[in-house]
Amino acid sequence: MDVFIQLIVNGIMLGSMYAIISVGLTLIFGVVRVVNFAHGELLMVGMYAVYLLFAKFGLHPYASAVPVVILLFCLGMAIQRFIIQPLLNADEHIQIFATVGLSTALVNLALMLFGADLYSVSAPDVRRSVTFAGNTVLVGQLVMLGASILLVGGLHAFMQTTALGRAIRATAQNRNAALLMGVRVDRIYLVSFGLGAACVGLASALVSPLFPATPTVGTYFVLTAFVVVVLGGMRSMYGAFAGAMIIGLVDSLSAYYIAPDLKEVVYFAIFILILIFKPTGLFGFGRGTE
């Protein structure tokens, strides 16, 4: 029983990491209606930025969250403005090819600049373990859990209470109606893509003390993020959070009770079943981003 509880705790902590990454992906798709296959590479860029700030200036990875979030927000807006926006009226497969091409370009750029070596950030305080009720977690995992809850809650408050948030929701629900109401849809797309990328910037600052930066580090995380957002519902932030917790638990339990090498098989099987039987996801409904 103690082992099972520890596995549940581990799954929740793992799910909180997936949640921060997946919420940004859901926000971009919910508003801009583009599946961003370069989402993982944005995480990779953020992790390298965290490493450089640590190596050059001695900045703690959590302290680097502010400049990295700003950097990723600006990068996200640039991607939207110069790559996605000219293709908004193109076929969906053209948009997909554009983001896949961007993903490949960023990976190869990282290989040119940093090589294939691992770059780690030293943060002993983040890796310190805490024991409560017989269960052990890392300080970094607890911070990530709190950050994921605050992120979803903060985005909810932003969407519900601010004029910009309401404009984003209106654009997500019906672009043409939003245009008729005077909403600058192109600007909303810029801000939404920037916010989605900024979420990845926050994730990179929290993940960096626990995982080394490599050119392909984003691939693993983004594949899991796609499973999460499909499970939760492609347009639902709350669904993304719930889906991340489910996948985290599945990851933890299947790695222990089946085999560590087969855990991806389990949740990708769930991914396929959801696509077949409930393509809107367990918590997805209608149009727009909740």
Q: Work out the average pLDDT over 187-201.
A: 96
Distance CA 156, CA 149 (A): 11
Q: What is the pLDDT of residue 287?
A: 46
| Sign of the torsion formed by the C-alpha atoms of 199, 200, 202 and 203 | positive
Specify whether the backbone of 223 is left (phi greater than 0), alpha (psi in -120 to 50) or beta.
Answer: alpha
User: Tens digit of pLDDT for each residue in 217-270?
Assistant: 998 888 899 899 888 877 788 889 999 999 999 999 999 999 888 888 898 898
User: Tens digit of pLDDT for each residue in 77-109?
Assistant: 999 999 999 998 888 889 889 999 999 999 999
* Distance, CA of 210 to chain centre: 16
187-190: list long-range contacts, CB under 8 Å, 24+ apart: 188/31, 189/31, 189/32, 189/80, 189/84, 189/85, 189/88, 190/77, 190/80, 190/81, 190/85
Distances (CA, A) of 75 to 33, 68, 199, 221: 18, 10, 12, 19
Q: Work out the average pLDDT over 98-123.
A: 94
For 216-244, letters b (16+ CB in 10 Å) and e give ebbbebbebbbbbbbbbbbbbbbbbbbbb
Domain boundaries, the chain: 2-277
Whether this prediction's pTM lies above 0.85 is answered by: yes
User: Does the domain made of 2-277 have the CATH classification 1.10.1060?
Assistant: no
Distance CA 110, CA 234 (A): 29
Contact 1, 227 (CB under 8 A): no
- What does DSSP assign to residue 82? I
Distance CA 38, CA 171 (A): 23
- What does DSSP assign to residue 182? T
Q: What are phi and psi of 136, to 5 degrees?
A: -115, 130
Q: Work out the average pLDDT over 22-44.
A: 92
Q: Work out the average pLDDT over 107-131.
A: 92
**What is the distance between the terminal CA atoms of the chain, rounded to a whole angstrom?**
37
Q: What is the pLDDT of residue 290?
A: 53
Lookup: tokens for 13: 């902590």
Contact 222, 21 (CB under 8 A): yes
Contact 50, 217 (CB under 8 A): no
Distance CA 88, CA 80 (A): 10
- Please state, as a whole number, how many other Cβ atoms lie within 10 Å of the Cβ of residue 12: 17
User: Tens digit of pLDDT for each residue in 132-183?
Assistant: 777 889 999 999 999 999 999 999 999 999 999 999 999 998 988 999 889 9
